[in-house]
Chain A
Amino acid sequence: MSALNDIKTKSRTNLGRRGFLQASGGLFVAFNLFGDAEAVSASQPIGSVQAPPPEGKLYAWLAVHPDNTATLFTGKVDVGTGTKTALAQIAAEELDISVDRLAVVMGNTSETVDQGPSYGSRTVRYAGPQIRQAAAAGRAVLLDLAADHFKAKANSLSVKDGVISDLSGQSISYGDLVAGKQLDMTIGATGTSFAMKVAPEAKAKDPKDYTIIGQSVARKDIPGKITADFNYIQDVKVPGMLHGRVVRPYGVQAKLESVDESAVKGIPGFVKLVRRDNFLGVVCETEWAAIQAAAKLGSVLHPKGPDAYAAKWSKWDGLPQMDNIWDVVRDTPGTTAVVANKGSVDQAMAVAKKTLKATFRTPFQMHGSIGPSCAVADVGKEQAIFWSGTQMPHEARRDMAKLLGMKPEQIELRWFEAAGAYGRNGLEHAIADAALMSQSVGKPVRVQWMRWDEHGWEPKGPPITQDLEAAIDDNGNITAWRHKMWIPTFLDNTLIAAQLIGRPDIVGAVGHGLPAIAYAYQFENADVACHGDGRVALRTAWLRSPAQYETTFAMETFIDELAAETGQDPLAFRLKYLKDQRAIDVLKAAAKQYGWAPRPARGQAPQAGKPVKGRGIAWVNRDDSRVATIADVTVDPSNGTIKVDRVVVAHDCGLVVNPNGLRNQVEGNVIQSISRTLHEEVTFDHSHVTSRDWIGYPILRFKEVPDSIEVVIVNNDPKYPMHGAGEPSTCPTAAVISSAVYDAVGIRLRDLPFRPNKLKAALSQA
């Protein structure tokens, strides 16, 4: 059967909905100028729900348009990390088309295959090979079409930038071959989500022939973002849309006792209070009215207490004392997971010349998205449509089906990029909030959280405590190593709204903490284990490098303590106990770039309050990517401030698709993790989170950014498959800074964050 018979004359029904993918080429007006304009116009009809396309069909992945441009469809989403461009490069490489002429549609559940959530630095790693195979299959299909057209053999044809030529020099474009039709060919797919295998028969290019992968292609999304020609989820408007705001309980588990509707009825544009058990929302015709109404109801907490505003909450003060949270974490029943168990640590401790012990404590931290969570819902009796910036659109579709008691087939989610989330923040929860409000008023409702909703209610990274212990022999060798972690859940994917309506178990599960660590040191006796808890005090979920930022802090700082205790150079000390060649390679590459001169940490008390410089080093294996970081810091003993001056990162995530995109990610990880290390701690009283704005939860500002961040790319080679870069370089930072501070002033900081008052107090006691 010729490939031509597989092209359906009907274009993909769902392509026209957003008005930019018609075969007419309507997309490309804006595309020519800035690359990513998508019109979301309030005049366009909302339309009806469509199911995801079948993953075994080529059209589920690719469309070719008459003007010889193409579209890649992927269930992955770009959360600001540049994966739209990286995945486009992978597809364009196999398809032999310029990346400029390949548009990317992400996350719309009606148009894309569920390739799993976009988290865990897994997008390029897992979706990359799926897209590579789909695009390779697409190229083969196009060659078959051309073979029919030219009455030639496919293997006698050549392709250059979407134009196929035969041996006589005749040529035809992909666009002319496909002529606006849907690519209905079967390419095959097995498995689901990350493990899905797409077009297993398709033969992908030899990496030595790559011309697009490995190039620093400019990101597709950036021009639109720079010129305000880009639609974030916050920009979506749909016909007849109303505006909703949430009013959360005063105390985390407080009950809603009464609401005085008269307080808000007179607000011009007021539509309805939406109350279900402890869920309270207000819907108005304008955003301003909704904000005013929510304020009158008590969305901004009143210091006078839970009944100071029109919504009256029961008194609830069940949160533990903030300073005591780590003891609570330690005492919570949970499950123990063993990471390493070698020899007998107890025995080695008993006969050791010296033993060292230290405890590390890290607080609740938040994602701190600059744009608060937002979603639009249009919930009817027969169908529900959502607009969201979630990192897991397909999962959110299924979650909304559960929440609303509908079938997934009745639900569609249309994805738009949100402000960076760095994990599971409020985006998924805002969908549920919008769902309940839309269902209640029978119209589309846009819900945007206010800053205090986001800071107060986004799921946090959990507080963690860790005990480390080691034994040292007469020769300064480590004979035993013990690392115990207490980690509350970072896997909670339940919904706030579900909890508030009294059905907390209807979507997702709380889960429990896992030992997020790759223990790689070769000590004779080792005992590494994690006590994993459920929810402790506040709702927690995954935050960039979940728990591994914290475990790396403890492990690598303690290694530095041992090196200092035994008078050894901290780099040589690490290398002595490592066999992981990729770890060794990144440590050496970072040292080379930095100009590392071997010496033990100085660790001397500062003289007369003058600023002192120090250096620190640490590394991580985060999900098979290896990263080593070295930094110089300046400590000012007069005020306790720490300034990071220079950062060197050696990064091995295997084959790099876009080197500049990688550098952008590494720089971002470094700066964000410096912020987490120096500043960030969620505060709470017995009722609720009290750090509800950027004053209460400060993050790094321009005056504190390093003078330079140098990135060395290691093992950028096809024999190392593409791994993740969205998270790994977050992990070493806290240990690097702690060790550098020790090098500078002889103070060992083991409790995050390293705020000036903490260091100053430690210095005054030293």
Chain B
Amino acid sequence: MTQKLVIHVNGKNRTVEAEPESMLLYALRDNLGLRGPKFGCGLSECGACTVLLNGKAIHSCVMPLKMVEGQKVTTLEGLVEDGKPNKLQQAFIDEQAAQCGYCINGMIMKAQALIDQNPHASRDEIKVSLEGNLCRCGTHMRILRAVERVTQGQASQGGN
């Protein structure tokens, strides 16, 4: 049966009416209308659904809603600062680091979690961090360069 659960999403308390056993991804997408996290596999294999839970990157497709009640969830939408892409997002735009872009939510969320922990991560550390994120278009080189723009301090300040 559905229940009302409160989760803290992108800085606001949001009430979701859903089954506690259902996965966080569907609450974010279907109940809250967020478009950042994507359904890719539902199996924790591709990373397209990645969000930050209390600052850590997790796969929302396998995270039961009841486990995140009252906790802090950040989605791709939540990285936007004052209506402008944040530094990492701007680096992806500057590198034109997307083709279809469906995986990019996961790439950015995972990389953001890495940067928050390790602001000067090396290329190898970035690769290790993104190892669980699949991209089918083959945009990997650009994704690496985009993250490096931030970790190597070459990023522009965001905005247009």
Contacts and interface: CB of A to CB of B under 8 A. Distances in A.
B146 to A, nearest CB: 9
Contact of A419 (B19, B100, B141, B160): B100
A372 B42 CA distance: 10
B67 interface: no
Contact of A370 (B35, B46, B80, B92): B46
Interface stretch (B52-60, B101-109, B113-121, B149-157): B101-109
Contacts of B85: 223, 226-227
A291 B61 CA distance: 12
A182 B99 CA distance: 33
Nearest to B77: A228
A235 B141 contact: no
Contacts, number: 177
B11 interface: no
Interface string B62-95: 0000000000000111011001010001001100
Contact of B100 (A79, A226, A228, A661): A79
Contacts of B127: 702-703, 705
Nearest to A448: B39
A369 B136 contact: yes
B8 interface: no
B130 to A, nearest CB: 5
Contacts of B48: 370-371
B138 A672 contact: yes
A693 B41 contact: yes
A230 B98 CA distance: 13
Interface in A208-257: 218-219, 221-223, 225-232, 234-235, 237
B99 A81 contact: yes
Nearest to A85: B96
A230 B101 contact: yes
A222 B138 contact: no
Nearest to B146: A226
A566 interface: no
Interface in A363-414: 368-372
A371 B131 contact: no
Interface residues of B, number: 60
Contact of A221 (B83, B92, B101): B101
A451 B61 CA distance: 12
Nearest to A451: B41
A547 interface: no
A268 B139 contact: no
A670 interface: yes
Contact of A422 (B43, B134, B136, B140): B136
Nearest to A647: B141
A368 B103 CA distance: 12
Contacts of B46: 370, 694
Contact of A699 (B33, B102, B134): B134
B137 A80 contact: yes
A222 B101 CA distance: 8
Interface string A80-94: 111000000000000
A288 B101 contact: no
A81 B139 CA distance: 11
A420 B101 CA distance: 8
Nearest to B76: A228
B103 A370 contact: yes
Nearest to B140: A705
A278 interface: no
A372 B41 CA distance: 8
A33 B75 CA distance: 19
Contacts of B99: 80-82, 420, 664-665, 668
B22 interface: yes
Given A223-B93, A268-B2, A451-B42, A672 B137 contact: yes
The residue in A82, A223, A448, A660 that gathers the most chain B C-beta atoms within 10 A of its C-beta is A223
Residue with the highest number of chain B CB atoms closer than 10 Å, among A370, A675, A694: A370
Given A82-B99, A226-B89, A371-B39, A288 B18 contact: yes
A286 interface: yes
A664 B22 contact: no
A372 B89 CA distance: 25
Interface in A348-374: 368-372
Contacts of B101: 80, 221-222, 225-226, 230
Interface string B125-148: 011101101111111111010000
A450 interface: yes
Given A222-B93, A228-B35, A694-B45, A668 B137 contact: yes
Interface in A687-704: 693-695, 699-703
A420 B136 contact: yes
A473 interface: no
Contacts of A288: 18-19, 22-23, 26, 30
A417 interface: yes
A665 B98 CA distance: 10
- Of B29, B35, B100, B160, chain A has the most CB atoms within 10 Å of the CB of B100
A705 B144 contact: yes
A671 interface: yes
A760 to B, nearest CB: 23
A433 interface: no
Interface string A699-732: 1111101101100000000000000000000000
Contacts of A467: none
Nearest to A667: B141
A668 B103 CA distance: 14
Contacts of B1: 268
Contacts of B6: none
A671 B96 contact: no
Nearest to A695: B45
Contacts of A82: 99
Of listed A221, A222, A227, residue having the most chain B CB within 10 A: A227
A545 B93 CA distance: 29
A356 B99 CA distance: 42
A370 B131 contact: no
A702 B131 contact: yes
A479 interface: no
A420 B100 contact: yes
A629 to B, nearest CB: 14
Contacts of A227: 76-77, 79-80, 85, 89
Contacts of B34: 228
Listed residue (A219, A371, A708) with the most chain B CB atoms within 10 angstroms of its CB = A371
A561 B22 CA distance: 56
A235 B136 contact: no
Contacts of B134: 370, 694, 699, 701
A669 interface: yes
Of A418, A419, A422, A675, most B-chain CB atoms within 10 Å: A419
Given A33-B83, A671-B141, A417 B100 contact: yes
A371 B102 contact: yes
Given A223-B85, A448-B39, A669 B138 contact: yes
Interface string B1-41: 11000000000000000110011001001100111101111
Interface string A417-442: 11110100000000000000000000
B131 A703 contact: yes
Interface of A: 33, 79-82, 218-219, 221-223, 225-232, 234-235, 237, 268, 286-288, 291, 368-372, 417-420, 422, 448, 450-451, 660-661, 664-665, 667-672, 675, 693-695, 699-703, 705-706, 708-709
5 contacts: A222-B93, A227-B85, A422-B136, A671-B140, A702-B130
Interface of B: 1-2, 18-19, 22-23, 26, 29-30, 33-36, 38-43, 45-46, 48, 75-77, 79-80, 83, 85, 89, 92-93, 96-105, 108, 126-128, 130-131, 133-142, 144, 160
Instruction: Across the A-B interface, give the 8 residue pairs with the lowest CB-CB distance, nearest first.
Output: A80-B100, A671-B138, A225-B101, A420-B100, A419-B102, A668-B138, A228-B36, A451-B41
Given A226-B89, A370-B103, A700-B138, 10 more contacts: A80-B101, A234-B38, A287-B29, A371-B48, A371-B102, A372-B40, A667-B142, A668-B99, A671-B140, A705-B140
